[in-house]
Amino acid sequence: MNPSHRRFFEAYQQCFAPLRTVRTAATPQEMIVRPVVDSPGWVEWKLMPCNVDLADEFAALERQLGHSWPPSFKEWYGSYFTLCMDVSVVALPENPSNAPLRPLQERVAKPDPFDQAARSLGLIPFGSETMMDAGPLCFDPRGGSDPDRWPVTYWDHEWDGTDQQIGPPIFSCFEKLIECCTHYMDAAAGVRASGDDLMSMIALDPDGAGGPGRPYWDCWIKEEA
């Protein structure tokens, strides 16, 4: 496993333990640890190493989408079975053990209006922007031949149809997203990170979060200062 991906999942476990999600009929039983006391519907879940090869399924998904996915993203996604993956600064797609890759397959096959709008502009939705709940977190393949260098941006529903509907590159690529999120989780240690924590996070990505994406992060840095 990629060491940076392993470190990300270790930080996620340490920062957000006990991991929690709302149990539904589709929640895999083998990932549930126990019900959460005094929280009806909520259960504790556990990370599990992904023991299936998703290469063929990703290839089929790419044909359907008409785009490749960054190899680094596919490697990260196929590392563990996961449920709720809200990292506070972004929310990433889950990979349930009873339906590997299904959350992404459903987004491609039956996109909601926000995903449809983002895709119509050439973006590839894969997660959620969480700081202001703007819309889908996306890869931006426009003009880039190397998927591992595609910026990570978001589509903002409040600016639909304007020249501001696509946000800035809040991370320069997926690997920088992983590095920055790991740093954030280490700094937050289960509590809301400070403005200084966010400042040190974006400094790790001078070509994205700390560069053209800086105005986006400055709003939250000032708020937490």
Structure tokens at 165: 């509907």
- Beta-carbon contacts of 7 under 8 Å, excluding residues fewer than 6 positions away, are 182
Q: What is the dihedral of CA 196, 197, 203, 207, to 10 degrees?
A: -120
> pLDDT tens, position by position, for the chain (225 residues)?
899 999 999 999 999 999 999 999 999 999 999 888 778 889 999 999 999 999 999 999 999 999 999 999 999 999 999 999 999 999 999 999 999 999 999 999 999 999 999 999 999 999 999 999 999 999 999 878 899 999 999 999 999 999 999 999 999 999 999 999 999 999 876 556 677 889 999 999 999 999 999 999 998 777 655
Q: What is the pTM of this model?
A: 0.94
Largest Cα–Cα separation, the chain: 51
Q: Between 3-16 and 174-188, two packed helices, what is the crossing angle to 10 degrees?
A: 30
- Beta-carbon contacts of 107 under 8 Å, excluding residues fewer than 6 positions away, are 93, 115, 125, 126
